[in-house]
Structure 1
Amino acid sequence: MSTPPPPSDGGYDPHSSAPTSGPYGSYPSAPGGASAMAGGQGPIDHPQGTTILVLGILGLVVCSILAPVAWYMGNNAMKEVEANPGRYANAQNIKIGRILGMIGTALIVLGLVFAAIIIIGAVVAGANA
């Protein structure tokens, strides 16, 4: 019993488990001839990835009200990334923007608590005077 000859075009042979040869050398084929990603494309950037990162940075450095927005958008985008593992190439940007949003939100809360303590202290001191 002999093995069948490789395809003449150097493409995928559905009857062979041996690696095929392509324009850049040999590489194993995906099972069933399907590509690793749907549609034969590699990972794509999440459409909100850069926006979340920028909002996280701006929320931490310039305008703190943007931090909760980055956190919220980051949570939603991470749900999409986790639902489709390997589909998005910029998941790291989403994670970083989300974390910056969390830090910025925590700083807002700490600032509000500090301001409330100062106001309460001033009211109590004014009432005792």
Structure 2
Amino acid sequence: MSKLSGIDFSHFEKQSIVNVIIGSNSLLELELTAGGLVAECPWRLQRENKIMAGSSDSREVPANVQLKESLIGCQVIEVIFMEEVKMLRIAFSGSIVLDLFHDSCHFEGWELYSEDGFTFISLPEGDFSLQELCTTQDQCGE
């Protein structure tokens, strides 16, 4: 069993996907109602434990349109990070799960961010950078 991080991702819960960009070289961007995700690493989307699409499928244009249509409007249910295997998992409404796998010693894997200042970046070699939320005016520099 992989160790789950103690990172609080609860501020992403109930945010909805408002836009999806699927590009070349494994690029996946999800725009959320108050944040987003940019992934440049292997990923897969599953619905009810069946793979809907993966980063190696991302160049197929007709499938991209269908995939985007099925994701727009989905709400974030849960976000977890499995430290041991360097995997970020985001569960959405509609039994959809997105898994991101960091697999590079040279490049960043993903950036998950919110408009309120939270950022979680997968760094080279499996390290990560975490900028927590500003909860007081002193922390936010205001």
TM-score by length of 2: 0.18
Higher Cα Rg, which structure: 1
TM-score by length of 1: 0.19
Report which of the two has the higher share of helix.
1
Report which of the two has the higher share of strand.
2
